[in-house]
Structure 1
Amino acid sequence: MAILTLSNAYLSFSDHPLLDYANMAIEAGERVCLVGRNGAGKSTLLKILAGEAGMDDGQLIIEKDRIIARLEQDPPRHIEGTVFDYVAEGVRELAALLKEYHQLSLKIAQDYQEKTMNRLSEVQSQLDHFDGWRFETRIQEILAKLGLNPDIALAELSGGWQRKAALAKALVCEPDLLLLDEPTNHLDVDTITWLENLLLEFKGSIVFISHDRAFIRRMATRIIDLDRGKLVSYPGNYDQYLQQKEEDLRVEALQNELFDKRLAQEEIWIRKGIEARRTRNEGRVRALKAMREERRQRRDVIGKANIQVDNAVRSGKIVFEIENLSYQLADRVLIKDFSATILRGDKIALIGSNGCGKTTLIKLLLGELQPTSGRIHTGTKLEVAYFDQYRSTLDPEKSVMDNVADGKQDVEVNGVKRHVLGYLQDFLFPPKRAMIPAKALSGGEKNRLLLAKLLLKPNNLLILDEPTNDLDVETLELLEELLSEYQGTVIIVSHDRQFIDNTATECFIFEGDGILHKYVGGYHDAKQQQANVLAQKEQQQPKREEPVKENKKQAFRDSKVRKVKLSYKEQQELAKMPELLEQLEQQIQQLQQEINQPDFFSQPNEVTSSKLQQLAEQEQALDDALNRWAELEQIAEGGQ
């Protein structure tokens, strides 16, 4: 049964409506990916589904008592209080109690007062009554996984970290319908994997927008395509959608071609000489007028961007020579004794958790930071173009055109002058769209604008920091094609696993504590090599057991069962201890072998969690058995 239904939705801000009497329904438990070109209206549609935006016409029906939560595309605005306070607002009715409990707990820790303690007890009682501890625990777990300090002021965080807080807020309330707008933006790959597992276990329905094809493939049970104001449902997975969409566009193009031929023939007929006009059929004339109107109303398929790079002169063969590089920030080591050579034409992907040092390494390479120790030799004739994920080089108040041409009418592309409006059309900005301020663009359009500005500059070294955020798939694939043919050097920071697979020739992986390792190939190649190296290290390390446990086991195996002061039941228990210990050790060894397999953590979360829980339980059982043996031995020895 549908928990949400949208009927005959119409919304227009310009000549072409965003929603043109569109229809959709969301069933309980399904995960729907909403796809469409940048600027098609996907984010606006999510706002309508959340009840945060209206329509010019149409009806939105939501089942009674259904809870809906939405993650916005951009970081939160007008923010006050701590991260915990902000995230707790997602629990709605319990938000005030949870925030007060957290604040009182901090106050008690700093300055114990009887009055504060009494109020804390009252709040605890209310949380007990409303089952609030479940949400308090959930908030703390999600914040910990996202690396967010619950006690820091939200306003002090960067835009990316604020968006993580917004994600936590959407997740904590356990809604019936979760609306996610680009949920993987600003997340590292490990956190994306965690998010995927969390959402796969989520019992409600999900509608999400994403450019991350690996994320879509794992998450989506159905695709809804927003194309020129219409919503079309495609059952099945993402690859099935791509195949069917291609066929639909082929059929549409064929139908349009036949229609245009008929229209041309009718236009020839109506323009015949005087004799033909005298005998023309009025019904045929009315049909021609209708055909003209139908052609005028037709919204053609949005084309692909035409992205070109203004190549500079070739750089030297060696782009960067990195020798024993280390960088320390306060007490934290971000990079430790790293050496590498980056050659002309290399395409390097930097992979690691948020805050591990990827941007720091880029700044070191560009000379914006100085190493704590070691050195970086920079090659000759380098011309750098730097794509900043936060789009700081864009002026939101300036028009699209002025952001690119800075008030001029012409730009120079590969030595040829072009009118700025013609150049922007290559990036899918029609003249009307080129006149609006950048702040009115969608997230994907802003990234296209940044690419248009960036690629005007002659370059032979591209540094791209999360270039795929918010881009539609068509532009993303075009960017991949451009990078594969690019003759210069590329350094990429991206959480998009497929993008890295399709573009990178080598990966530098941050493995913690400042350690970096180099692996040949794309993302999955690198992770497989990394897993193989770790597995080899595990095999080479001698197995060591805790001395206390080993002493207990050995002493037990060498001892004879003593019967003094032991009841008959205890004597039987002591006699069976060798068999029990051996059985537990075998089970632990088997579980450890399974967990040490390279592909163990690529399995569904419920499988890995179950195995890890079993291992913990078996190890605890072994400890309990050893302690019980020691207890029985002590009793027996006391009777000698």
Structure 2
Amino acid sequence: MAILSIHNLDLSFGGEPLLKNVHLHINPGERICLMGRNGTGKSTLLKIIAGQVLPDRGAVRLEQEARATFLNQDLPADLTGSALAVASQGEPSREQEARQLLTRLAVSPEAAVETLSGGALRRVLLARTLATPAEILLLDEPTNHLDLDTVVWLENYLERLCKSRSAAIVFVTHDRAFARRLAQNVAELDRGTLYHHTCGYDEFLERRDKRLADEEARWEQFDKDLAREEAWLRRGVKARRTRDEGRVRRLLDMRERYRQRRERVGSVDLSLEEARRSGDLVITTKNLSFAYSPEDEPIIDNLSTLIMRGDRVGIVGPNGSGKTTLIKLLLGELAPRDGTVRRGANLHPIYFDQLRTSLDPEKTLWENLGDGYDTVTINGRTRHLLAYMEDFLFSREEVNKPVRILSGGERNRLLLAKFFARPSNLLVLDEPTNDLDGETLELLEQILLDYQGTILLVSHDRAFLDNVVTDCLVLSGDGTVQEYAGGYGDWRDRQNHRADQETQNRDKTAGRGNPSPAGERQKPRRTGTRLRYKEHQELEALPGAIAALEEEEADIHRQLSDPDLYRTVARQETPGGSTQDPGQLSRRLEEIGQELARAYERWEELEARRGDSP
């Protein structure tokens, strides 16, 4: 039985209906992802369910004694007191859980909320939502301002919550990996209509694409029929005969349907203005360290790395680990305490900052984007500003709006439009995916993959990182920065693999040091008879081969981080006569990454077969 039902819901703000005859039923334990483009009314629908907005028509019925709690995307301006008082809402019975949640979300329970940043305050409100006893959780962008590890923790927490409490969750997210993991069903808002899909995220994408293709085919046939009927009517005399009055009425009905038709808004059209190529060497650091004051522990400690032209580097780590600080060091906005940062020749960087400080909230969209001009030039082609803004889904009626009234997704689109009109060969993107809908994210991914320059990317969107980056710099929070080939998923797989190996080694050591008590019969050790003799030998040799590859990988990283390698234009001959070529070393580094991936895959395959052996 549904614990919440929505019937015949309508809402408009003077123009086209935002919500039109919406129906939805929410069952205990159900996890529903509310999907749709920016501006389709997802947050508004959550506010209606929470009782914060009244619809023009329809009803929201909550089962008797059922409770709902709401994480609003908008931050309240009137919060005071400690983080613990806000998260527990002054209820002593909730203090213990609220304290645990705040600690896990990296917020001090004793911190005064008036002093917290927007991101930290958002995490306090998330803790308050999770600590509130409720049968329905309404979560609007719950992963915003969470680091990657915390997003994974939240996924696990919400799954357990649904099972232990039979709580239902309705959530809005732009994080595709989060939606893929949590969503059992998807409710899609499109031009006022809510489509309910009883499937997960990936199947929803297929169903949505088929629905839109079918809709386009139907309207294409409708347009042909309408054109034929209009041509018939223009022929005149026959159309005015009594026996044809029914056909005329049908034509008038078709005209009305055409007038009321709401076309799906076009996709964002992204293109980048690229500057001349930079040099092969973009940024190199040697023994780089930084702290904001001499007595502080370093935020970045002894980092030596090399970034070459065409690299797409993801910078990941917990909140507060120094990701934005590292970007500013690499760009020269901060000076290192120790070590050096060297930037290559002919660099034209663009910095898409997390705080969006490049936008003036009091100026209009036109003023922010045009900077006094009414045209932009993209890859040699001059475009009028109005046409260019339409590429980013801003209508001509919106260009004189002040930026301060835009949604988060609209601000991000405007900033992308502003930056993509500038020539660049180094893109530095600090959380560019916040509040962008899924379709725009996919288009942004494609334009970054086609980009010929170098990219530094900070993001908590795991799918975005996996699809875009070629390497990761991982900040641990204690100053250590490690470099890995591949995306976020590749790094996590390696971490999990190493953790499993350490666990196995500890178990073996414990087994040798602590024999079973007398009389206790041990399980016979599996012999792995399903592996052939040569496969046994291969399995035994793989850990050594993997260690050798990783040692070679680390050695090449050390060589490439040495600025002396680049002081001559031609190849540098070593005393032993071997050739040290940065290009060759980089290609070998790529080969090692592929060899490691194959070695890990083979090791897992053989280990699984051995484990399955009787």
Same fold (TM over 0.5): yes
Match of 1:411 in 2: 376
Q: Distance in 1 between matches of 2:261 and 2:270?
A: 27
Match of 1:605 in 2: none
CA offsets per residue over residues 119-174 of structure 1, 9 Å max, x none?
Answer: xxxxxxxxxxxxx2xx2210111011001011111121111111111111111113
Q: 1:315 aligns with which of 266, 275, 278?
A: 278
Match of 1:432 in 2: 397
- Aligned partner of 1:296: which letter? R
Match of 2:31 in 1: 31
SS at match of 1:2: coil
The 3 A distance-change label for structure 1 pair 274 and 585 is closer
SS at match of 2:457: strand
CA offsets per residue over residues 563-602 of structure 1, 9 Å max, x none?
Answer: xxxxxxxxxxxxxx9539x89999xxxxxxxxxx9xxxxx
Q: CA deviation at 1:49?
A: 0.7
Q: 2:212 aligns with which of 233, 239, 249?
A: 249
Q: Does 1:145 align with 2:104?
A: yes
8 Å Cα contact 2:84-2:95 kept in structure 1: no
8 Å Cα contact 2:138-2:169 kept in structure 1: yes
CA offsets per residue over residues 17-58 of structure 1, 9 Å max, x none?
Answer: 110121112111101000001111111111111000111122
Q: 1:298 aligns with which of 241, 255, 261?
A: 261
CA offsets per residue over residues 62-89 of structure 1, 9 Å max, x none?
Answer: 1222221111223332222221122122
- Aligned partner of 2:403: which letter? A
8 Å Cα contact 2:35-2:188 kept in structure 1: yes
8 Å Cα contact 2:273-2:379 kept in structure 1: yes
Query: How many pairs were matched up?
Result: 518
Match of 1:445 in 2: 410
CA offsets per residue over residues 436-489 of structure 1, 9 Å max, x none?
Answer: 232333222221111111212211111111111111110000000000000010
8 Å Cα contact 1:519-1:529 kept in structure 2: no
- Aligned partner of 2:518: which letter? E
Match of 1:183 in 2: 142
The 3 A distance-change label for structure 1 pair 327 and 539 is farther
- Aligned partner of 2:235: which letter? K
8 Å Cα contact 2:288-2:338 kept in structure 1: yes
Q: Does 1:474 align with 2:413?
A: no
Q: Which consecutive residues of structure 1, in runs of 5 or more, have no partner in the other structure?
A: 90-94, 99-131, 558-576, 587-596, 598-640
Q: Does 1:269 align with 2:222?
A: no
Q: Distance in 2 between matches of 1:351 and 1:69?
A: 31
Of stretches 509-518 and 247-256 in structure 1, the one that deviates more from structure 2 is 509-518
SS at match of 2:490: helix
Q: Distance in 2 between matches of 1:402 and 1:22?
A: 38
Q: Does 1:491 align with 2:456?
A: yes
Q: CA deviation at 1:294?
A: 0.3
TM-score under structure 1 normalisation?
A: 0.77
8 Å Cα contact 1:83-1:150 kept in structure 2: yes
Match of 2:156 in 1: 197
Q: Which consecutive residues of structure 2, in runs of 5 or more, have no partner in the other structure?
A: 525-542, 544-614
8 Å Cα contact 1:71-1:180 kept in structure 2: yes
Match of 1:42 in 2: 42
Match of 2:359 in 1: 394
Match of 2:492 in 1: 527
8 Å Cα contact 2:32-2:184 kept in structure 1: yes
Q: CA deviation at 1:502?
A: 0.5
CA offsets per residue over residues 158-211 of structure 1, 9 Å max, x none?
Answer: 111111111111111131111111111111111011101110011211000011
Q: Distance in 1 between matches of 2:451 and 2:86?
A: 44
Q: Spell out the pairing of 1:605-620 with structure 2 (5 A cutoff).
A: none
Q: Does 1:369 align with 2:337?
A: no
Q: Distance in 1 between matches of 2:290 and 2:75?
A: 30
Q: Spell out the pairing of 1:210-359 with structure 2 (5 A cutoff).
A: 210-274=173-237, 277=240, 281-329=244-292, 330-359=295-324
Match of 1:579 in 2: 518
The 3 A distance-change label for structure 1 pair 583 and 342 is farther
Match of 1:11 in 2: 11
Q: Distance in 2 between matches of 1:256 and 1:291?
A: 11
Match of 1:501 in 2: 466
Q: Distance in 1 between matches of 2:497 and 2:60?
A: 52
Match of 2:127 in 1: 168
- Aligned partner of 1:184: which letter? T
Q: 2:117 aligns with which of 158, 161, 169?
A: 158
Percent of aligned pairs with the same amino acid: 47
Q: Distance in 1 between matches of 2:80 and 2:378?
A: 46
Q: CA deviation at 1:3?
A: 1.4
Q: Distance in 2 between matches of 1:20 and 1:441?
A: 23
CA-based RMSD of the aligned residues comes to 2.6
CA offsets per residue over residues 351-382 of structure 1, 9 Å max, x none?
Answer: 11111111110010111111121100011111
The 3 A distance-change label for structure 1 pair 276 and 41 is closer
Q: CA deviation at 1:328?
A: 2.4
CA offsets per residue over residues 212-259 of structure 1, 9 Å max, x none?
Answer: 111111101100000000011000111111111111111111111111
SS at match of 2:298: strand
Q: Distance in 2 between matches of 1:79 and 1:12?
A: 30
Q: CA deviation at 1:404?
A: 1.2
8 Å Cα contact 1:76-1:162 kept in structure 2: no
State the structure with more CA Rg: 1
Match of 2:584 in 1: none
8 Å Cα contact 1:75-1:160 kept in structure 2: no
- Aligned partner of 1:214: which letter? A
SS at match of 1:500: helix
Q: CA deviation at 1:279?
A: 7.1
SS at match of 1:579: coil
